[in-house]
Amino acid sequence: MFLALSAPHRRRALASGMAALAALLFLAWSLPAQAQSRIKDIADFEGVRDNLLVGYGLVVGLDGSGDDLDSAPFTRESLIGMLQRLGISARDADLDTKNVAAVMVTADLRPFARQGTRIDITVSALGDADSLLGGTLLVTPLLAADGEVYAVAQGPVAIAGFSASGDGQSVTKGVPTTGRIPSGAIVEREIPFDMQELETIKISLRNPDFTTARRMAEEINRFVGLPTANSIDPGTVVLDIPANYRGNTVALLTDIEQLRVQPDQLARVVIDERSGVIVMGENVRISTVAIAQGNLTIRITETPQVSQPAPFSNTGATAVVPRTDITVDEGADRKMAVLAEGVSLQELVSGLNTLGIGPRDLITILQAIKAAGALQAEIEVM
């Protein structure tokens, strides 16, 4: 049966079909982009990095939960030195306070942090203090690896945990000897680095790979229109600043970090035997192999029974009679599974799951497959 459409209906049907086709084409065009990653998410630019700071200080105002000055001589000497700088002589005094704790202060100095900006710091007890709750960190200089002071920290310590105890029970939540001070340090010294004057910039891949580095260089050259990027090793792409971007390096890096690249990765199986965690990459493949797994399980159950004489009997004595039940499971219901050559990760996991294998046994099986030369992947044991 043929149904004839009028001209307006045919135009509307044609328009609907074209709209559907356009939607499918847009979807097909956008799917590869979703599988790709931005350069800023897989690489770091030269000079854009944090710097680690560390300092030693005192936290005061603790409610009897600080260091014992007799067992923490560094706290005692630090307290005496601080008081002497304030004009108070306490060298010969018998100090017996529990409201002071020696701490280590750490911080990350953000890239291009300017003088006067504030950064977060972490405060950790160094002695035998029980808690830093309610304490205040006194002025503490923070040093970098070159020995120079780059920030100064001070402020009330915020603790996420607590500790409470009595004569018969104690409760501890979190770690009360570690806390943070949001915006607790002020940057006093800047790290000199002039990005605008650079003529060459190195881009470091977070996961070095030859293929990924080459794809990144090709994508940058395609965007710039000139052969300015070159991969010199699996972890580094060297970018020569084009003439039209000289003096405006930030604009070039802003455009480049938004480019999308499909990262490549090695076929790798990561195993953590302590926790039984197994992580397998997408490209893991195996050759044809047959797998069987069976465990010998012996279960012994003791159910002793009490035997005693009849009531009002003058003979016999109450005795415990042992009753032992031994069950042996040889794993006879386990079958052998054959995994074909070149199976995918999903097929590999499904095939092993059909054997009823747990994570611990799976670790042993993967290592045995690798030893047989059938696992086309690298095994990394954590």
Domain boundaries, the chain: 51-162+173-187, 195-261, 269-303+322-381
| DSSP annotation string for 9-46 | HHHHHHHHHHHHHHHHHHHHHHHHHHHSEEHHHHEEET
234's enclosing H/E stretch is none
Question: Residues 99-121: pLDDT tens digits?
Answer: 999 999 999 999 889 999 999 99
Determine the pLDDT at residue 31: 42
Determine the pLDDT at residue 118: 95
Determine the pLDDT at residue 2: 38
Question: Residues 245-289: pLDDT tens digits?
Answer: 888 888 888 889 999 998 887 888 888 877 777 777 777 777 776
Query: What is the four-CA torsion angle of 355, 359, 362, 363, rounded to 10 degrees?
Result: -170
Does residue 140 contact residue 56 with C-beta atoms inside 8 Å?
Answer: yes
**Helix 249-256 / helix 210-224 crossing angle, nearest 10 deg:** 120
User: How crowded is the C-beta side of 26, counted as CA atoms within 13 Å?
Assistant: 6
Distance CA 240, CA 200 (A): 5
Does residue 316 contact residue 309 with C-beta atoms inside 8 Å?
Answer: yes
**What CATH number does domain 195-261 carry, 3.40.50, 3.30.930, 3.30.70, 2.40.30?**
3.30.70
Ranges under pLDDT 50 in the chain: 1-5, 20-34, 296-298
Distance CA 66, CA 125 (A): 9
Determine the pLDDT at residue 332: 53
